[in-house]
Amino acid sequence: MFNLKTEIYLRIIFLFSLIALISAYFIEHVLGHQPCNLCLIERIPYGLSIILISLMFIIKKNENFFILLLILTFIFSFFISLYHFGIEQGIFQESSVCGVKNFSENVSKEELLNQLSEKTISCKDVTFRILGLSLTTINIVISILFIITLTKIFTKYEKN
């Protein structure tokens, strides 16, 4: 399996992903800061990393494959966060993802009217900051750190 250092890094990523998701739901449901659609999409890599790391520790095989999937997951996280940051800074225009509530094609007239009457959270509005940084900015930094860490782990296993 893994050496102790690798296992510690994976446990840190697992724990941080868990804390990130709990914090996001706390900020949304307890503090009342509604997320935009891109904020919701940015949660996916954290949930996926929890699943992948759990599977890695349960299966105890194909560690390189799981680590590669984790790297790809956080590359996705980095690019989604970078795009979101660009929208926040006015570099990019908001896409249709920012305004759509339900991606299903089977939306009734009542559901569509309800969606239109609800206030849609814009992807360019930052509703919550930590130390003056938007959660998107923090997510960019975390994604880069995880990509670097996981890439070092992956290259170490490729050499063995």
Cβ neighbours for 59, distance < 8 A, ≥ 6 positions apart = none
pLDDT tens readout for residues 41-79: 999 999 999 999 999 999 888 888 999 999 999 999 999
Query: Of all helices (H) and strands (E), which one includes residue 67?
Result: helix 63-88
Ranking 41-45, 123-127, 141-145 by mean pLDDT, the lowest is 123-127
Residue written as token pair 């930590």: 130
Higher pLDDT, 17 or 96: 17
The answer to whether the predicted template modeling score (pTM) of the entire model surpasses 0.85 is no
DSSP 121: P
